Amino acid sequence: MSKKPAKPVRTQAATPKPKSSTFNPARFLDRPETATEKDPLYRKVFLGTSLAILLITIILALGSGINGDDEYQNDYSTKLVNYYATMGADTSALFIEKGKMHYYGGFFDIVTGFANKVLGQIWQDAGYHNVRHFFNAIFGVLAMLFTALLAKEIAGWRAGILALLFMFLSPRFLGDSLMNPKDIPFALGFAMGLYYMAVFFRELQPQATIKELWRPALGIVVGICIAISTRAGGLLLVAMFFMYAGLDFLMKNGFGGLMAKGSPVGKYAAWTLGITLVGYLLAVLFWPFALQAPLSNPLEALSEFSKLSVGIRVLFGGENIMSDEAPWNYPISWILKTVPLFTLLGLLGSIALMGSLLKTYLPLPVSMTLFAAVFPVLYVVYKDSTLHDGWRHLTFAYPPMVAMAAVFFARLESLVTENKVGKYAVWAVVALLMVEPAVFIARNAKYPYVYFNPIAGGISGAFGNFETDYWGISMKPAIDWLETNGKISQGMTDTVTIGTSFSYVAHAYVDKKFNGKVKVKYVKFSNRYETNWDYGIFPSRYIKGAHLRSGTWPNKRSIYAITANGVPLTSIEQGGGAVFEGEQALKTQNFQGAIEAFKKEVAQYPDNEQAWMKLTMAYLNTGNFAEAKNAATKSIEAAPGNSTGYFYKGMAGLYSNDLSAAANDFREAIKLEADILPNIKNAYEQLAKNYEGQGNSAVAAQLREAAKNI
């Protein structure tokens, strides 16, 4: 990189300084020399890097798997296309019970929906998803680009280039750019809006003309439009725009400027209100639900999202908890463990050097960018908002985090510019910090979003403690493996059945491609052997953390596992065999036959927790409580954290009159799964009734009393 002046020099503003010695608007009108670096090499590097990133991201996107939420997105996209194609006659997009998709803006799904309609593709076509992933990559790279431009606007081309590299080498953001049609467009709207706000208010000087302002004004309009037409939370960008305008006015004019003769307050108000109104109206055009009531319906959607009332089970800190019961530090912990160290250290460094940054660069863009990075996270913590699947709902706060990190490192380099050793040390540290996430991306290019940083111990340290592939992106390489290894093929004559907990994704890959010869069954992981299938594909998404940490998943029935840095994401299991025979025997109440089949299964696959559990049930039904207790213990050893195993172990103790042991096991089951309590109470009551039927009311009373203490 070319040598930078030791001390940034400000250009002189055209506006004369006021007489007051306490207020100097030129302080906020001047632009740092660093932000106007003219070296054409920087521009060429920036452009070349941008094009390379665009090409690589598109290639990665076309090889990425389908987002598990695409079941809802694709359905919404179809209904949106029908709504606009029929000029509103088809109203199915106005209310969607499953997924509440009508609360989302439709910009991305309208664009991709009409593209696929023109191409004649449906969701079972591979090309359908390629179109969506292609646009997802475009949106993601644009978000990277505007983040870099924001950093460049603040601190110059070197900061911009650094921000561009930081964004691309952020595995989670890059991974989402391949297949996340909600959070990435939303992040683009924010990044674009923030950049053009910085440009607009820098240009909004007394002598500024419409010709000078219309381009950044249009940029803000488009940013607001994309943000709101993706999610109602885009209204936050509007609030920030008003905040930006108010602060900029006060910095340039002081409070006295509000009442001064010839005050520009009217100019500020006209531009701010006009830009907001146009951006909002454009956003509503891409959102059928909002079109019905442009004021009340977006507010209704915003209220719904702020509550995010639908709780799902998530893995956090090693515990499987409901998302609406997550602790206050849930988003902060996720950020600390999944943000690359260059972003984390750079963001913290920017806060530490804030005084220097405010003196060196225009203070308002610096302050607003930091605000955009920090405020959403703190607000979510303050409101105790429910988040699903890590911190992806806060992805829009990541671009300003990166911008601040890049500005920090650029400023740090300028502070030691006269010390060659110090200067090279800064860039050496930055380069080293980029190596680790870059290697992860290279090794896991199909699903880089599962990244965890060294603070978390990498993905191996996070495994069993935090969700990894919560969207099931590794389903695609799993199905690809079946085809590559001859388990399924386009020309086969026999039918092959795949059982999986991600059935929609599997259907999209196999229904049309294999001409109906590959069938898909939805199979709940905890009941996966109850139905017959040839191959089972099970991501780790619905498996208890303790089970994952025990090392017994994937179990010995697994014939292959999709991994990231050696950590399993998805297991492919062989179907059929003794475990299925045992399940069929249980269904016909052939308990002795079930016992023989399950004993055969666990002899071959001793880590099959389901076989041990069903063996427990068979023993219970034959009155062999000692063997039932032993089998239940084995099921817990094979799958720690298994509430059902504790429940059946407790049942064995209960029916063998070992009430103390039963109570302990039942308490453990309730600790793991509170919903199991009614079953436990019912077990005590049924046994009490049995004793009453035998005329032993004393024991029945004892059982009912014991049940009260569970």
**Tokens 């090794």, located at residue:** 443
3 alpha carbon, distance to own chain's centre: 40
The tokens describing 659, both together, are 């009430």
Q: List, for residues 617-665, the tens digit of each pLDDT value.
A: 999 999 999 999 999 999 999 999 889 999 899 889 888 888 888 888 8
The domains located in the chain, with CATH, are 35-294+312-443 (no CATH), 475-574 (no CATH), 595-708 (1.25.40.10)
The tokens describing 230, both together, are 């993706």
Give the span between the Cα atoms of 291 and 309, in whole angstroms. Answer: 24
User: Closest Cα to residue 66, out of 500, 568, 575?
Assistant: 500
Between 311 and 355, where is the model more confident? Answer: 355
Distances in Å between the Cα of 395 and the Cα atoms of 265, 438, 555, 652 are 34, 20, 35, 49
Backbone angles phi, psi at 313, to 5 degrees: -80, 130
Question: Taking the C-alpha atoms of 106, 111, 114 and 115 in order, what is their torsion angle to the nearest 10 degrees?
Answer: -150
The reported pLDDT for the residue numbered 241 is 97
Residues 6 or more apart in contact with residue 703 via CB below 8 angstroms: 659, 684, 687, 688, 691
What is the residue type of 623? G
Angle, helices 659-672/697-708, rounded to nearest 10 degrees: 30
Least confident range of 193-197, 380-384, 472-476, 699-703: 699-703
- The answer, yes or no, to whether residue 442 has pLDDT greater than 60, is yes
**Tokens 């740092």, located at residue:** 32
Which whole number is the average pLDDT over 180-201?
Answer: 97
Q: List, for residues 54-79, the tens digit of each pLDDT value.
A: 999 999 999 999 998 899 999 999 99
User: Closest Cα to residue 217, out of 255, 136, 272?
Assistant: 272
Q: Are 96 and 180 in contact (CB under 8 A)?
A: no
Q: List, for residues 317-368, the tens digit of each pLDDT value.
A: 988 888 888 899 999 999 999 999 999 999 999 999 999 999 999 999 999 9
pTM of the model: 0.90
Give the span between the Cα atoms of 235 and 186, in whole angstroms. Answer: 11
The reported pLDDT for the residue numbered 364 is 95
Long-range CB pairs of 281-285, under 8 A, 24+ apart, other chains included: 282/221, 282/222, 282/224, 282/225, 282/229, 283/105, 283/107, 283/224, 283/225, 283/226, 283/227, 283/228, 283/229, 283/234, 284/228, 284/229, 285/229
The reported pLDDT for the residue numbered 16 is 45
- Tell me the HSE value of 384 on the side-chain side, using a 13 A CA sphere: 5
The tokens describing 332, both together, are 């902060």
